[in-house]
Amino acid sequence: MQKEKNISNTETRVSISIDNTNWDDFVNWRLGTTSDDYELVEDIGLTSPVGMISETFSGKLNGNGHTIKVAITENVANVGLFSQLESASINNLIIDGYVIGGASSQYVGGLAGRIENSEIFNCLNLADVTGESQDSSVGGFAGGSALSGRFHSCTNQGTIGGGLYVAGIIGRTISLSGDIIIRSSSNAGTIKFNGKNYFESGNYIAGIIAFANIYTYLHDLVNIGHILSEHFDFAGGIVGYIQGERNEINVSLNSGIIDGARNSVGGIAGYVGDGVKVFSCLNTNWVGIGMSSNYGSIVGNNNGHIDSCYYDDQMSILDAIGLNTGTVTRALGLPTQSMIGNALVGLLPNINSGITGNPLHWTLQDNLYPRPSEEDILYHPVNLLAAAPIYLPPGYNIGNMPPPGTTFEVSNYLSFLPPTQIEYQWSSLSGGTIINVPLWTLGNIATINAIGTDTLRVLLTSSTYANYEIFEKLVPIYIP
């Protein structure tokens, strides 16, 4: 362990570098001191995964892009790499492995069970996270928060399972003091029921946040994950249930399949409460009904204000809004060709506005759906994958698929070359003969042996995060 003290008139700061041999030193360093900064110098626990840190962490941890691999099974209230973060800052960290909270665990997350007054920046969760309690709050990064918190440029790729509140970033927020802000973040993991216990009524699931109370701001978010929501009452691509004053969902894109719900389900949100604003959002994938009485391609049950939201009506056959007792200024279904490229110029507010720091804008690209254009997510592979429509050749449709063993081609007609030169690739996970080609290549993206299904699984890989990012997109097939 290396220590450096820099003494000034305002503070004494201890900078500690952690390598794989002295992780115990980090755990035992009395983690409650806010003056301590920690910095990873290499991956930790890849051969011997680390367990949970039970103390509340109130310092700063810079992962430097390194991975901490965890193997955590605990039956306490707050479960994660850290039990709880309070006035902490975590950045540039990758979490891998698994986290399991037992029957008595209320808050379960890959990074922390609970976060309070803390900031999570530029982090990736690869760990599978499960809360086995029927009233668990489970998230890829955190189970829940009752105070202020901020997630910026975070991506979940782990499979997340829970019983009451379950989502890719954070399960539940009830802001009693301060704001909850989630922006420039994404989910590419499968979100599902924990397989054991759930409430017969009143549970929530989503790609980003399952339940959001007052003072919650959701901006520039993307979901491509599959939301297995049939056991839940409220389900959405971005948020399951959002209520209370000063809440917003802005410039967010869902392209993940949502399987339905028992009460309210929507492409962006299942339920939107009084005073909540849903502004400039897009849904480009299938929304199932399940047993739900309120279902919509944008919002299932709206009591708030919805403006300038659109969905691809060749992907989702539902109306924009299910039950509406609020205000809808504009929420429309359009065919794919009327949503890609520049088709939505003038319909989505603040497109390419050029206003510094203004999050309310989209980037338009030939042959792509609009995608959130805040700098930290613009070229993220999840954002690119979410924005790419997928086509079968003319003559094929759900009722007329080629027989098993037949070779056919899939295309997205994309000619965009990212300046980062990362080789994004597509392939099918459904079996058969696959030919991978770079995403920016014109024409075919895969050659597939038909297996008679009406959906297509698409895989995107990139060299980002040292080859850790492998994203799946499940899409209904669309016929141009």
Which two structure tokens, joined as six digits, stand for 172? Answer: 């539940």
Which residues lie below 8 Å from residue 317, measured CB to CB, with a gap of 6+? none
Ranges 20-24, 135-139, 240-244: which has the least confidence = 20-24
Helix (H) or strand (E) holding 300: strand 299-302
The predicted pLDDT at position 147 comes to: 82
For position 254, what pLDDT does the model report?
96
- pLDDT tens readout for residues 393-447: 555 544 455 554 555 555 554 333 333 322 222 333 233 223 332 333 333 333 3
Q: Are residues 340 and 450 both part of a single domain?
A: no
Do 291 and 425 belong together in one domain? Answer: no
Residue 165 has pLDDT above 90, yes or no: yes
219 with 287, same domain: the answer is yes
Specify the DSSP element, H or E, that contains 124.
Answer: strand 124-125
Same domain, 284 and 430: no
From residue 271, how far is each of 108, 254, 255, 308, 323 by CA, in Å? Answer: 24, 16, 18, 18, 9
**Domain endpoint, select from 387, 418, 449:** 387
Residues 69-89 have pLDDT tens digits of: 999 999 999 999 999 999 999
Q: What is the average per-residue pLDDT within 451-469?
A: 41
**Average pLDDT, integer, range 208-224:** 93
398 in a domain, yes or no? no
- Provide the residue range defining the domain that includes 135: 2-387
| DSSP secondary structure string for all residues of 134-158 | TT-EEESSEEEESS-EEEES-EE-S
CA 348 from centroid of its chain's CA atoms: 22
- The confidence score (pLDDT) of residue 24 equals 63
pLDDT tens figures, 195-206: 776 666 789 999
Residue 114 φ then ψ, to 5°: -130, 150
Tell me, yes or no, whether 297 lies in a domain: yes
383 shares its domain with 411: no
Let me know if residue 392 belongs to a domain: no
Per-residue pLDDT, 239: 98
Residues 43 and 137 in one domain: yes
Q: How far apart are CA 293 and CA 273, in angstroms?
A: 17
Query: How much is the pLDDT for 473?
Result: 55
User: What is the predicted pLDDT for the residue at 407?
Assistant: 53
Choose the weakest-confidence range: 26-35, 58-67, 270-279, 308-317.
26-35
Among the ranges given (34-38, 54-58, 455-459), the one the predictor scored with the smallest mean pLDDT: 455-459
109: confidence class by pLDDT, cuts 50, 70, 90:
very high
Q: What is the pLDDT of residue 355?
A: 41
Task: Specify the number of domains making up the chain.
Answer: 2
**Shared domain check, 441 and 375:** no
Percentage of the chain exceeding pLDDT 90 = 46
User: What tokens appear for 141 in the block?
Assistant: 């990064």
How large a percentage of the chain has pLDDT more than 70?
70
Domain boundary among 387, 417, 444: 387
Q: Is residue 393 part of a domain?
A: no
Between 429 and 28, name the one with better pLDDT. 28
Residues facing residue 142 across a β-bridge: 112, 170
pLDDT at 449: 35
Instruction: Give tens-digit pLDDT for 261-302.
Output: 999 999 999 999 999 999 999 999 889 898 999 999 999 999
What b/e readout covers 87-123, taking b as 16+ CB neighbours within 10 angstroms? bbbbbbbbbbbbbbbbeebbbbbbbbbbbbbbbbbbb
Q: Are residues 154 and 243 in the same domain?
A: yes
Q: Does the pLDDT value for residue 135 go beyond 80?
A: yes
Q: If you average pLDDT over every residue of the chain, what do you get?
A: 77
Is the pLDDT score of 372 beyond 50? yes
Residue 479 has pLDDT above 50, yes or no: no
The mean pLDDT value for 35-54 works out to 80
Bridging pattern class, strands 12-18 and 2-7: antiparallel
pLDDT at 463 > cutoff 50: no
CA–CA dist 321, 329 (Å, integer)? 12
Residue 396 lies in a domain: no
Check whether residue 416 and residue 343 sit in a common domain.
Answer: no
Residues 413 and 472 in one domain: yes
363/228 same-domain check: yes
The answer to the question of residue 216 being in a domain is yes
Same domain, 78 and 137: yes
Question: Which whole number is the average pLDDT over 152-169?
Answer: 95
Which pLDDT belongs to residue 262? 94
* Residue 425, domain member (yes or no): yes
Please state the φ and ψ torsions of residue 466, each to the nearest 5 degrees: 55, 50
pTM (whole model) above 0.75: yes
Does residue 397 lie within any of the structural domains? no
